[in-house]
């Protein structure tokens, strides 16, 4: 459960980084009460208007998202405290003075909470410089480390070489992080390819979840897990293959990509054929439609109980299953032996890769 401000997380908290789009927001809106206590989404805002704020107001009670407005101009419209919704501000180490003051107001409005996002590929300052930057953030926002969650964001890791390169870099950042009493520390990465258009169609294709493998190698550090859902970390990366009916289905250490291009017949029938193939596969959960809202909707299409939907629907159903699968994995009894984050433990030992 997400702890009260200033306390340590007693159970795993899952922090998915999601674009503020219809599909991802639909998946979040269907989380049940148990899931909302353990999912702390980070929403990346590309534009802000009345519709965006209205959608945020309709998220389930108890779900307190963190919102990253770094892509927006530094203006009054990007000040979260003016949106009338409790939102955790996402703060970079190089924010302007004006934005830091605005983030401080937003943090106080949501119970003195903030998330500091450290991008491993971009924030290359040494430990002393990073500490000075963090102290500037705390001073300008009127916060202390115990009121801040730290997110170490590695960006995309899409092959074994990426995982091997990211691990030592992240471990160095975690060594720096242990200097301070953060509320929690999460490592997040993306692992989905930027395009699926080169994959074969009309058959399920297995892809490794390299982001999950990176986190497993870091399990000895006790950090929480974050990812980019079922999409790549690179924002705005278009995928021509998304014009085809596509489901990105999460399994143990992998994704199964279903892209259906069979000619003939109506689009609804083609998507129903995709869903029938999925629900008869070995990776369809034993609980079936009860596993998540997204699985329920996919089974309805397999039984021709509804239409094919749109790309936003396919993203919503894929994301819904993904959120449920990650939560179930993190809370599995046989996986509950990993240490929890401690700001000053003994030096960490190198983790092992679970391939």
pLDDT at residue 334, as a whole number: 58
Q: Are 141 and 114 in contact (CB under 8 A)?
A: yes
Please determine, for residue 8, whether its predicted confidence score (pLDDT) is greater than 50: no
Question: 217 and 172 in contact (C-beta within 8 Å)?
Answer: no
Per-residue pLDDT at 202 exceeds 70 = yes
Residue 184 DSSP SS3? strand
Distances (CA, A) of 201 to 35, 87, 134, 168, 278: 33, 41, 47, 37, 14
d(CA 43, CA 14): 13
Worst-scoring range by mean pLDDT, 15-24, 31-40, 239-248, 280-289?
239-248
293 vs 40: CA distance, rounded Å = 18
Question: How many angstroms separate the CA atoms of 12 and 35, rounded?
Answer: 12
Query: pLDDT tier at 66 (50, 70, 90 boundaries)?
Result: very high
Mean of the pLDDT values across residues 157-177? 96
Sign of the dihedral defined by the CA atoms of residues 66, 70, 73, 74, in that order:
positive
Can you tell me the mean pLDDT for 52-68?
A: 92
Domain architecture of the chain: domains with CATH: 14-335 (3.20.20)
Lowest mean pLDDT among 100-114, 169-183, 226-240, 295-309: 226-240
């Amino acid at each position: 459960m997400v702890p009260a401000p200033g306390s340590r997380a007693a159970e795993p908290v899952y922090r998915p980084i999601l674009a503020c789009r219809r599909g991802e927001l639909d998946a979040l809106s269907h989380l049940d009460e148990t899931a909302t206590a353990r999912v702390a989404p980070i929403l990346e805002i590309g534009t802000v208007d009345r519709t965006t704020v209205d959608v945020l107001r309709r998220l389930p009670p108890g779900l307190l998202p963190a919102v990253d407005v770094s892509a927006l101009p530094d203006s009054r419209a990007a000040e979260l405290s003016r949106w009338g919704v409790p939102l955790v501000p996402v703060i970079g180490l190089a924010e302007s003075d004006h934005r830091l003051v605005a983030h401080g107001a937003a943090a106080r409005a949501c119970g003195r909470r903030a998330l500091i996002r450290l991008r491993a590929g971009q924030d290359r300052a040494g430990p002393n410089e990073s500490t000075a930057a963090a102290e500037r953030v705390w001073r300008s926002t009127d916060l202390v480390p115990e009121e801040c969650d730290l997110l170490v964001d590695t960006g995309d890791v899409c092959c074994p070489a990426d995982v091997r390169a990211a691990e030592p870099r992240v471990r160095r950042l975690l060594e720096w992080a242990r200097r301070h009493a953060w509320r929690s520390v999460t490592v997040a990465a993306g692992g989905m390819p930027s395009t699926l258009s080169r994959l074969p169609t009309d058959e399920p294709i297995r892809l490794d979840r390299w982001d999950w493998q990176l986190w497993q190698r870091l399990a000895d550090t006790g950090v929480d897990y974050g990812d980019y859902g079922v999409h790549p970390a690179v924002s705005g990366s278009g995928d021509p293959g998304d014009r085809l009916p596509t489901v990105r289905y999460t399994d143990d250490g992998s994704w199964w990509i279903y892209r259906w291009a069979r000619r003939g017949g109506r689009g609804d029938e083609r998507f129903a054929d995709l869903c029938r193939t999925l629900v008869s596969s070995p990776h369809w959960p034993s609980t079936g439609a009860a596993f998540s809202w997204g699985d329920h909707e996919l089974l309805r299409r397999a039984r021709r109980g509804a239409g094919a939907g749109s790309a936003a629907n396919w993203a919503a159903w894929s994301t819904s299953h993904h959120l449920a699968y990650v939560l179930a994995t993190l809370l599995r009894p046989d996986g509950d032996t990993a240490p929890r984050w401690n700001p000053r433990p003994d030096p960490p030992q190198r983790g092992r890769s679970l391939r």
